[in-house]
Amino acid sequence: DDGQRKMRDDLLKKLREQVHDETAFLRQHYLQLWTSLIEQKKIPVKQYLPVFKLGLHRLRDKACRVRKYAVTLVMNMVLNNPYFVIDSTRAQFEKGENDAERKLVERRQELEKLNKNKKEDKKMEKKNSQSDDEDSGAEDKTIDEDYEMNVDNNQKKETEENKEPIEEQIMRVEEIVTFYKDGLRFIDLIEQANQDVVNLFNSPTLADCIQAIDFFVNIRHYRLTWPNMEQNLRLMFRLIWSVDESKCKAITQALVKICFDVSPTIPQIHIPLYQAGAIICVLKNATFSEEVYFEEILKQLIKEKKIPTEAIIEALWKLYKFPYDDNTDVIAGKILTFIVG
């Protein structure tokens, strides 16, 4: 009921305030608590944007462990978001918003027309009432006058009945418009968080770097929603030359997940082509330096026998032999050069 809903909202507001506590341990604790609530889908949709902003703000926290759990919160909010699925695009949301707003205008025009008819009916009713007063001494009324009065009453009743469902429709469409607007705002906030997470690649703290890698690996399926995803993935490649072996290992494992882990629904015979396509997708628009980093990662994976090299080479040859408008064949040729020399 309304009382319980208010109590819930007050409690969530208090939890949001606690994320700004002066003590790093408490900031960390409440970020963990928010992540747990998100994973359990216990957060009302209207709370998503304020909570995401909390995580966004804490990505720049001075305490490493707080930053870690801020990244985890942001990542889980993307994975469990109520707005879009992995193949959604910004264009789809913008179209949905425009369609809903157009429908809202139409419904409001219908309601305005009904209200106008209602006013005219009242004027007519007042006029008829005045006419009845003037004729109150008359002893008889014609059947036609009685019929007209019945018609007027029926029209009035019909107008009231039509008005109510249109008002309900307007409320529903307004909710849809708000949903699309919030979804687009959520996408904007994700893109805003992007640079803060990318900056963690430059952190001297190993935990920051590993957490940033884990973030992009886990949300890799949202490439259509997040167009600069491939660029973010490529920014990780340079870590392969890090003096810290943990970073190197994390990068090679990340590339295996990004390019070689496939859905169990994909037929076995198509897996190599799918994997070759994923590699090509990552390298599109890559700079020369990024290609060099990628070549080093690929060589390590081949050396450690982490990928099915022969099957990938065969799939790349198939893609190389046919011309593509998006340079898929050219990139396939580069990757073959990396592998076979």
Question: Closest Cα partner for 18 from 5, 29, 7?
Answer: 29
Q: Would the pLDDT of 1 be above 90? A: no
Taking the C-alpha atoms of residue 170 and residue 123, their distance in angstroms, rounded to an integer, is 27
Q: Would the pLDDT of 160 be above 90? A: no
Which range is least confidently modeled, 127-141, 156-170, 220-234? 127-141
Question: Closest Cα partner for 226 from 198, 200, 206?
Answer: 198
E strand or H helix at 236: none
Q: What is the structure's pLDDT at 134?
A: 55
User: With the C-alpha atoms ordered 313, 318, 319, 323, is the resulting torsion angle positive or negative?
Assistant: positive
- Number of C-beta neighbours around residue 53 at 10 A: 14
At the top level of CATH, the class of 228-341 is mainly alpha
**Residue spans per domain, the chain:** 90-134+144-184, 228-341
Q: What's the pLDDT tens digit per position in 24-58?
A: 999 999 999 999 999 999 999 999 999 999 999 99
Residues 272-309 as b or e (16 or more Cβ within 10 Å = b): bbebbbbbbbbbeebeeebbebbbbbbebbeeeeebee
Which range is least confidently modeled, 58-67, 119-128, 268-277? 119-128
Q: What's the pLDDT tens digit per position in 226-249?
A: 767 888 888 899 999 998 999 999
Q: What is the structure's pLDDT at 154?
A: 52
Q: What's the pLDDT tens digit per position in 259-297?
A: 898 878 889 899 999 999 999 988 988 999 999 999 999
